[in-house]
Amino acid sequence: MTARDELSLSRDGVADPVAVAFDAVAERPLSPHGHSAAATPRALGHPHAHESARAQVAGNASYIDDLPELKGTLYAAPILSKVAHGRLNGVDAAAALAMPGVRGVVLSADIPGDNMLAAFAHDEPVFAFDTVQHVGQVIGVVVAESVMQARRAARAVQVDIAPLPAVLDPREAHAAKSYVLPPVFVRRGAPDEAMASAPHRLSGRFETGGQEHFYLEGQIAYALPLEQNQWWIHSSTQHPGEVQHWVAHALGIDNHAVTVQCRRMGGGFGGKETQAGHLAVWSAVAAHKFGAPVKLRLDRDDDFLVTGKRHPFAYDYEVGFDARGRITALVLSMFVNCGFSADLSGPVADRAVFHCDNAYFLENVQVASYRCKTNTQSHTAFRGFGGPQGVIAIERILGDIASALGLDAFDVRMANLYSDEPLADGKGRRDTTHYQMRVEDNILHELMPQLEQSCNYRARAAEIAAWNQQQTALRRGIAITPVKFGISFTATLFNQAGALVHVYTDGSVQVNHGGTEMGQGLNTKVAQIVADELGVSLARVLVTAADTSKVPNASATAASSGTDLNGRAAQFAARNIRDNLASFVCGLDACGAGEISFAGGEVISPKGRRSFDEVVKEAYANRIQLWSDGFYRTPKIHYDKTTLTGRPFFYFAYGAACTEVVIDTLTGESRVLKVDILHDVGHSINPAIDIGQIEGGFIQGMGWLTTEELVWKADGALATHAPSTYKIPATGDVPEHFRIALWPEANREDNVGGSKAVGEPPFMLAVSVYEALRHAIVAARPQGGSAAWTPVALQAPATAESVLRALGRLPA
Ligand code: MTE
Ligand code: HPA
Ligand code: MOS
């Protein structure tokens, strides 16, 4: 049994991936894909432990609130709007100012630079000044000598707001043509004609809920004024470069005067792609006013109220299909609840458009995407970035088609997959997306049947059907759904990265790159890549904090492309150093540079072997450069932003999941019983980390679709603003049968180490949970008399109430 097989074992099997990862510190050889398990194994492909795992478990890994504070540090707390929409007439801070320890308040008028954030749409005030646009909008901060003094005083500030009508529902915003950005339409073929002539038609509307990021480390920033109006910002951010830009803009100074550093986040999940910037700006403006370091960490309830979430969506659709369930026409409208400002809503809504095909060929299709403005938090990036909201639309439609025709949903999904089958008119094949990108790397025709076999889908489906017949209250359901997720930032310019590799005279290596560590294992993977490039052991390579003064203009660590981009940049930097060392050694040994290799901590030439450390020392003495930068930009990608056509993605990541659930039709409660996943990470750089990402992504997706419900009250206040009312999955919700296997093939595109990105794609595998729940609900319907088939109206998340509504046991 290879270590890869071990890693594929389930929780009810033998190996726990985390335990394996820890054991792997002993560098057990693993040969998942051709790296020969020689005496000196390469770092790539091994389940190395996360670079911070031990420190995190021991409590030695520092988050921003753990850093030693500078003398004189003050603390800020936000003053929040209690009104969803209104005219802001005034702020009376007298009571707050009289409270112990309070130094003062900071309002819009205190901002030295622009009072609007440097967000790309320039539509968001730093602090609300003339109007408030959602409950929880930040009007200013109170600054005090302790955190609790600041928080208590912030609640004592009196804000005078004259209420205006508020819009909370995206359909209502659409009716009023109230958008944060203009609508986008993508059309192919002749959807209207094809719909009219379709043998079967279905139409409907449904909604998917938002999702709170629930990063364990809440949003935080610590702003330190340096000499001569220069600044040092500690920010828990996925995008230090953007924080730098926003802080400089608000302070009215050049970017070069602001340095932003982030060693790690306690989770980001997209929630710290832009919205970490707000806290950094607020603390910097406060620090500017008081000439002292200022730290701002949002209390968890405030974090819920202030920061944006996954975009809730509403959908209208009509679909035409044939007798085998093949879609012949689709007309889909997506009403995206963006909240009060644009933030990342444009690219999020675009990605939903790019993923509403998921893995299926849509010959005649019209997609409309409305970016609706509502009086809620400004919704933002969240794992999948609109992809999940696109994928669930088509999966739900295919589930309904299968159920309406009385076919197995797996067969209907297979019949709709992209393929090289020619079109009826002979003009092209069923292989091109609605945005005109050819799907060249499709593996789902092999991957899905393989999963169907390995999880014993057919026999289980039959067994479940028989079991359901015997039950009164309980029903089980099962579903396999695939994922095809486009890898690259849809904004082509973000697909670039830089890195800096230093070799010190003792042969130890330090790496800095433009990416950020949020738990996903980016630093570990980058270190593995650099270790192999220099032929040294992983222990010799240390990755340091993301820092805007080391690698400038870095993109957000997002779009799952952290390793693809920064890993390659670091590889190129290390390669430059290796080339310097190789030419130095071939000078000594009078051989060609191509004859020098680096492996096992040695530099090997035809004349003999030297230790890497020895070569480094010699090279230094001979004035050879031992450090280098590296730069990478993703090839092949291009697309037209206005029509959303082209090749936005370098490649696709694929996977499929089979989920079995049980529902209690009396209470609406449900449980995920079994999950089998076959997922494509190409040649895994680190199977322990990749399997961890697949597990975490799936469970997070399961939370989105089952228990994580955001409820805004009629007055616009978020009712579910704490863990008491907002339920993320707990360990007890993880299915006991949770088997994950990795697809063995390398990325067909030339990506670092043959790998594929893994951060977001597995999130969408959880759509199988939702489809399995709908399958169980179908089984709960009265049998026979099928004349009036209707879609299963299960709103996401499938809370107990939502399941009861879909069963007709609660009013809709
Ligand atoms: N994993 C952990 N542990 N914590 C996180 O915050 N964020 C996810 C994913 N996995 C996240 C995570 C999101 S939204 C993205 S885009 C990717 O990680 C970003 O990192 P990568 O590009 O290095 O995979
Ligand atoms: N994914 C994640 N973040 C982004 C993207 C994307 O495609 N585009 C801009 N920010
Ligand atoms: Mo991830 S939503 O792209 O930060």
Tens digit of each residue's pLDDT (9 = 90 or more) over 755-771: 999 999 999 999 999 99
Q: Atom 10 (ligand 1): residue with closest C-alpha?
A: 759
Which one is catalytic: 452, 533, 760, 771?
Answer: 760
- Kindly indicate the confidence band of residue 786, based on its pLDDT and cuts at 50, 70 and 90: low
Q: Atom 11 (ligand 1): residue with closest C-alpha?
A: 269
pLDDT in tens, 295-348: 999 999 999 999 999 999 999 999 999 999 999 999 999 999 999 999 999 999
* Pocket probe mutation, ligand 3, options 239, 273, 649, 693, max atoms within 8 Å of Cβ: 273
Vertex 368 angle, CA 362 and 373, to 5°: 145
Whether the per-residue pLDDT at 5 is higher than 90: the answer is no
**How many angstroms separate the CA atoms of 130 and 89, rounded?**
7
Average pLDDT on 678-697 reads 98
Ligand 2 touching residue 381 (CB < 6 A): yes
716, two tokens: 């616009």
Query: Ligand 1: distance of its center to the CA of 416 in Å?
Result: 30
Whether the per-residue pLDDT at 30 is higher than 80: the answer is no
**How many angstroms separate the CA atoms of 379 and 343, rounded?**
7
Whose atoms come closest to the Cα of 693: which ligand? 1
Mean pLDDT of all residues belonging to the chain: 94
pLDDT for res 533 = 98
pLDDT in tens, 161-170: 999 999 999 9
Query: Ligand 2: distance of its center to the CA of 215 in Å?
Result: 19
Ligand 2 touching residue 489 (CB < 6 A): yes
Q: Which residues line ligand 3 (CB under 6 A)?
A: 238, 270, 273, 381-383, 385, 558-559, 760
Whether the per-residue pLDDT at 38 is higher than 50: the answer is no
Whether the per-residue pLDDT at 777 is higher than 60: the answer is yes
Alpha-carbon torsion angle 711, 716, 722, 726, nearest 10: 10
* Pocket probe mutation, ligand 1, options 560, 565, 689, 758, max atoms within 8 Å of Cβ: 560
Active site residue 760: yes
| Residue 260 burial (CB count, 10 A) | 30
Q: Which residues line ligand 1 (CB under 6 A)?
A: 267-270, 383, 518-520, 522, 557-563, 693, 696, 759-760
Whether the per-residue pLDDT at 434 is higher than 70: the answer is yes
* Pocket probe mutation, ligand 2, options 269, 273, 311, max atoms within 8 Å of Cβ: 273
Query: Ligand 2: distance of its center to the CA of 442 in Å?
Result: 23
Whether the per-residue pLDDT at 590 is higher than 60: the answer is yes
- pLDDT cut 90: percent of the chain above it: 92
- Kindly indicate the confidence band of residue 36, based on its pLDDT and cuts at 50, 70 and 90: very low
Whether the per-residue pLDDT at 178 is higher than 60: the answer is yes
737, two tokens: 């049968």
Whose atoms come closest to the Cα of 346: which ligand? 2
Q: Atom 7 (ligand 2): residue with closest C-alpha?
A: 489
Q: Atom 2 (ligand 2): residue with closest C-alpha?
A: 559
* Pocket probe mutation, ligand 1, options 520, 694, 764, max atoms within 8 Å of Cβ: 520
pLDDT for res 285 = 99
| Ligand 3 atom index nearest CA of 238 | 4
Average pLDDT on 13-42 reads 42
| Ligand 1 atom index nearest CA of 215 | 6
pLDDT for res 34 = 38
Whether the per-residue pLDDT at 18 is higher than 50: the answer is no
Kindly provide the residue ranges of all beta strands, DSSP E only, lying in 378-518, ordered along the sequence.
474-487, 496-503, 509-513
Average pLDDT on 628-651 reads 95
Whether the per-residue pLDDT at 8 is higher than 70: the answer is no
Backbone angles phi, psi at 739, to 5 degrees: -105, 130
Query: Ligand 1: distance of its center to the CA of 562 in Å?
Result: 8
pLDDT for res 362 = 98
Average pLDDT on 488-503 reads 97
Q: Atom 9 (ligand 1): residue with closest C-alpha?
A: 759
Q: Which one is predicted more confidently, 142 or 425?
A: 142
Tell me whether strands 602-605 and 651-664 are parallel, antiparallel or unpaired.
unpaired
Average pLDDT on 571-589 reads 98
- Kindly indicate the confidence band of residue 16, based on its pLDDT and cuts at 50, 70 and 90: very low
| Residue 621 burial (CB count, 10 A) | 9
Whether the per-residue pLDDT at 598 is higher than 90: the answer is yes
pLDDT for res 790 = 86
Q: How many residues does the chain have?
A: 812
pLDDT for res 642 = 86
Query: Ligand 2: distance of its center to the CA of 613 in Å?
Result: 41
pLDDT in tens, 526-562: 999 999 999 999 999 999 999 999 999 999 999 999 9
pLDDT for res 643 = 87
Q: Which one is predicted more confidently, 2 or 309?
A: 309
Vertex 361 angle, CA 447 and 391, to 5°: 70
pLDDT for res 41 = 72
Query: Ligand 2: distance of its center to the CA of 559 in Å?
Result: 5
For every residue of 30-85, DSSP letters joined together read: --SSS----SS--STTS-PPPTTHHHHHHT-S--GGGSPPPTT-EEEEEEE-SSSS
- Kindly indicate the confidence band of residue 787, based on its pLDDT and cuts at 50, 70 and 90: low
Query: Ligand 2: distance of its center to the CA of 390 in Å?
Result: 15
Identity of residue 212: E
Whose atoms come closest to the Cα of 381: which ligand? 3
Average pLDDT on 676-685 reads 98
pLDDT in tens, 212-269: 999 999 999 999 999 999 999 999 999 999 999 999 999 999 999 999 999 999 999 9
Query: Ligand 2: distance of its center to the CA of 577 in Å?
Result: 32
Vertex 387 angle, CA 383 and 391, to 5°: 130
